[in-house]
């Protein structure tokens, strides 16, 4: 008997390593370290991207490797639009420990967009139909798409034969300037507008209501440009005009006669007016009898109790002071929903942005009373992972985030984020700003705030020339930098020279003096003036 027991124990002992080995293969290795490699870019940008990437990596040192955390990390890095390539080498699954390496290639950024030859189409209108924005990542594959979009814009505005070129000029390390060249021929002009069948209104009266019609005031006028959208609006306007005048059955049709050789188009409009309705519907309505409503109010419900389920004592105490429904007050359904939103806003300011609140009305034995219960599921407390700004090639990050009150690893406050957006939009040297929150779509316990900005043109030069009786002929020149040293300060110099003397002024203006939203200016000037006889 003893020999059998010893034999069984021996078998278990020798087979134990085999089972242990199989189990170890199914267990993922422990993360020993996390390494970020930024493969290109200027040192300052590489340092900034490296810090951001470390924050966004969902792994933690000395914890088990997780494929889900890997995918979440890659998704967060993609949403920043700051990387054109993200590589993570395969891990050694047999090892007990592993080093997770992220090899990140920064995107090529658009530093400036220039448009030539677009007049009378504005530069901003041309840029808006493309997917280019200053500060965004440049996508080489979208060139053809953007060319077609610009050509379609000019075609809509009457230029049927337009050639567009988009040139990309490299200005720095991973920075480009986009040059849009537009070569347009003569626009398609309207040679004539004819009306047929308009018995009640003259041709001139109908033409004057159309945007497609141009008065022949000047002898050199070539005619109005033919714009398809404006012409379609004119047709709708004429239809509405006839119906307003009582022609309810009017039918308006048109025909276009295009001359490709002369690059002109003729418009022929055929109108079938139909009978005119002479009745005034408003007077017919006013002859109807007045209506009376009998209202039975019934009974009014009174709230006897308001309770909260799923909150701590401190939260409940705070909410009782800010909600509007109270025991003893009348029950109003809209007010209950309003207080529900108030509770959600309160919890969001405490970091519980995914919280759910349901209001339940419980009627009492007496019909005239009821109680309100708020069932609250706070979900996960969310913290801020960081605030990052991009597109500010000259403006320092410290200037953009001067009034930022969002601190890392503290509970998220959406009100603080709204204040941050307002402060950045009010910065004088910023032309445009867009904001996004990363991680909120997957209900992450840590979210990140991104601000993409576009700076105004920094340098300016203005000149004026004129004459007045006090100083005779004069010349004025003003030049400067709207974003001096990237600090949101304007350095300028004004010079005026006239027949009676000169005046020179040089100064610097701070638009946020001492971070108190105060505009301060320091200047020096010199002048000389001779009195006229």
Q: What is the DSSP code string of 500-520?
A: TEEEEEEEEEEEEETTTTEEE
- Tokens 């008065």 identify what position? 215
Pick the CATH number of 25-106 from 3.40.640.10, 3.30.930.10, 3.10.20.310, 3.40.50.300: 3.10.20.310
Pick the CATH number of 194-282 from 3.10.20.310, 3.40.50.300, 3.40.50.2300, 3.40.1440.10: 3.10.20.310
Q: How far is CA 245 from CA 209, 276, 282, in A?
A: 14, 8, 14
- Number of separate helices (H) and strands (E) present in the chain: 12, 20
Tens of pLDDT, residues 491-523: 999 999 998 889 999 999 999 998 898 999 999
Domain residue ranges of the chain, discontinuous segments joined by +: 25-106, 109-184, 194-282, 302-377, 383-455, 459-529
Check whether 262 has a pLDDT greater than 60: yes
pTM confidence score: 0.78
Q: Report percent pLDDT > 70 for the chain.
A: 91
Cα distance between residue 469 and residue 532, in whole Å: 10
pLDDT band at 532 (very low <50, low <70, confident <90, very high): low
C-alpha angle with apex 387: 458 to 424, nearest 5 degrees?
A: 40
Write down the pLDDT at residue 301: 87
- Cα of first residue to Cα of last residue in the chain, in angstroms, is 138
Q: What does DSSP assign to residue 193?
A: E
Write down the pLDDT at residue 229: 82
What is the fold of 383-455?
Ubiquitin-like (UB roll) (3.10.20)
**Mean pLDDT confidence for 454-474:** 90
238's tokens? 């004429």
Cα distance between residue 305 and residue 370, in whole Å: 7
- Tokens 């720095």 identify what position? 172
Tens of pLDDT, residues 40-69: 999 999 999 999 999 999 888 888 888 899
**Mean pLDDT confidence for 229-252:** 90
SS (H, E, C) 120-164: CCCHHHHHHCCCCCCCCECCHHHHHHHHHHHHHHHHHCCCCCEEE
Cα distance between residue 351 and residue 409, in whole Å: 11
Q: Would you say 290 and 216 are in contact if contact means Cβ atoms under 8 Å apart?
A: no
Q: Is 344 helix (H, G, I), strand (E, B) or coil?
A: helix
State phi, psi for 449 to the nearest 5 degrees. -110, 130
Tens of pLDDT, residues 268-309: 999 998 888 766 556 666 666 777 888 887 788 899 999 999
- Domain 109-184: CATH superfamily is membrane protein fhac (3.10.20.310)
Residue predicted with more confidence, 264 or 52:
52
C-alpha angle with apex 119: 118 to 121, nearest 5 degrees?
A: 75
Write down the pLDDT at residue 184: 85
Tens of pLDDT, residues 109-145: 999 999 999 988 899 999 999 999 999 999 989 999 9
Tens of pLDDT, residues 352-411: 999 999 999 988 877 788 999 999 999 999 999 999 999 999 999 999 999 999 999 999
**Mean pLDDT confidence for 426-445:** 93
Q: Report percent pLDDT > 90 for the chain.
A: 59
Q: What is the DSSP code string of 405-447?
A: -PPTTSBP-HHHHHHHHHHHHT-TTEEEEEEEEESTTTT-SEE
Residue predicted with more confidence, 189 or 421:
421
**Mean pLDDT confidence for 74-94:** 90
Domain 302-377: give its CATH architecture. Answer: Roll (3.10)
Question: Does the fold of domain 194-282 match that of domain 109-184?
Answer: yes
User: Which strands make up the sheet holding 369-377, listed edge to edge?
Assistant: 302-309, 369-377, 356-363
Check whether 194 has a pLDDT greater than 80: yes
Q: What does DSSP assign to residue 386?
A: E
| Exposed/middle/buried for residue 308 (C-beta within 10 Å: 0-12, 13-18, 19+) | buried
State phi, psi for 373 to the nearest 5 degrees. -120, 130
Q: What is the DSSP code string of 239-306?
A: HHHHHHTT-TT-EEEEEEEEETTTTEEEEEEEEE--PPP---HHHHHHTSPPP----------EEEEE
- Tokens 């200053």 identify what position? 134
Q: How far is CA 213 from CA 106, 186, 191, 258, 461, in A?
A: 52, 18, 10, 17, 39
Q: How far is CA 43 from CA 138, 173, 445, 492, in A?
A: 20, 10, 31, 31
Write down the pLDDT at residue 5: 46
Cα distance between residue 10 and residue 347, in whole Å: 61
What is the H or E stretch that residue 219 is in?
Answer: none
Q: Would you say 51 and 37 are in contact if contact means Cβ atoms under 8 Å apart?
A: no
Q: Would you say 324 and 338 are in contact if contact means Cβ atoms under 8 Å apart?
A: yes
**Mean pLDDT confidence for 145-150:** 94
Cα distance between residue 414 and residue 419, in whole Å: 9
Q: Would you say 343 and 336 are in contact if contact means Cβ atoms under 8 Å apart?
A: no
Cα distance between residue 258 and residue 16, in whole Å: 91
């Amino acid at each position: 008997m003893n020999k059998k027991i010893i034999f069984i124990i021996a078998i278990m002992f020798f087979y134990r390593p085999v089972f242990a080995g199989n189990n170890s293969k199914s267990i993922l290795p422990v993360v020993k370290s996390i390494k970020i490699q930024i493969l290109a870019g200027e040192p300052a940008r590489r340092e900034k991207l490296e810090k951001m990437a470390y924050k966004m990596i969902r792994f933690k040192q000395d914890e088990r490797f997780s494929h889900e955390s890997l995918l979440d990390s890659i998704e967060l890095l993609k949403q920043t639009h700051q990387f054109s390539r993200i590589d993570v080498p395969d891990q050694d699954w047999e090892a007990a420990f592993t080093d997770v390496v992220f090899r990140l290639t920064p995107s090529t950024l658009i530093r400036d967009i220039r448009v030539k030859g677009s007049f009378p189409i504005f530069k901003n209108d041309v840029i808006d139909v493309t997917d280019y924005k200053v500060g965004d990542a440049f996508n080489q594959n979208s060139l053809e798409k953007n060319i077609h979009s610009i050509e379609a814009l000019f075609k809509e505005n009457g230029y049927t034969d337009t050639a567009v070129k988009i040139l990309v000029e490299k200005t720095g390390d991973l920075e480009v300037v986009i040059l849009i060249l537009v070569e347009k021929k003569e626009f398609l002009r309207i040679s004539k507008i004819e009306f047929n069948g308009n018995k009640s209104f003259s041709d001139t009266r109908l033409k004057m209501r159309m945007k497609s019609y141009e008065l022949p005031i000047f002898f050199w006028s070539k005619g109005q440009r033919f714009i398809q959208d404006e012409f379609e609006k004119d047709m709708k306007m004429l239809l509405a005009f006839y119906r307003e005048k009582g022609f309810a059955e009017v039918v308006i049709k048109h025909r276009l006669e295009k001359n490709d050789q002369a690059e002109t188009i003729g418009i022929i409009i055929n109108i079938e007016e139909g009978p005119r309705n002479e009745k005034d519907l408003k007077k017919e309505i006013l002859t109807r009898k007045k209506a009376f409503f009998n209202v039975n109010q019934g009974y009014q419900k009174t709230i006897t109790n308001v309770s909260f389920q799923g909150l701590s004592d401190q939260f409940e105490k705070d909410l009782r002071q800010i909600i509007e429904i109270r025991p003893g007050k009348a029950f109003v359904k809209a007010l209950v929903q309003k207080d529900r939103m108030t509770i959600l806003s309160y919890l969001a300011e405490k970091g519980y942005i995914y919280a759910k609140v349901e209001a339940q009305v419980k009627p009492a034995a007496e019909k005239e009373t009821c109680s309100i219960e708020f069932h609250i599921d706070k979900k996960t407390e969310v913290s801020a992972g960081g605030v990052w700004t991009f597109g500010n090639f000259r403006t320092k990050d410290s200037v953009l985030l001067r009034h930022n009150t969002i601190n890392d690893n503290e509970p998220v406050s959406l009100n603080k984020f709204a204040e941050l957006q307002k402060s950045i939009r009010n910065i004088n040297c910023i032309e445009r700003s867009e904001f996004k929150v990363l991680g909120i779509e997957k209900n992450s316990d840590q979210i990140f705030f991104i601000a993409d900005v576009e700076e105004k043109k920094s340098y300016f030069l203005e000149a004026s020339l004129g004459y007045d009786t006090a100083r005779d002929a004069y010349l004025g020149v003003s030049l400067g930098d709207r974003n001096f040293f990237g600090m949101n300060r304007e350095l300028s110099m004004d010079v005026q020279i006239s027949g009676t003397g000169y005046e020179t002024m040089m100064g610097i203006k701070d638009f946020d003096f001492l971070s108190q939203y105060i505009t301060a200016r320091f200047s020096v000037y010199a002048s000389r003036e001779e009195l006229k006889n």
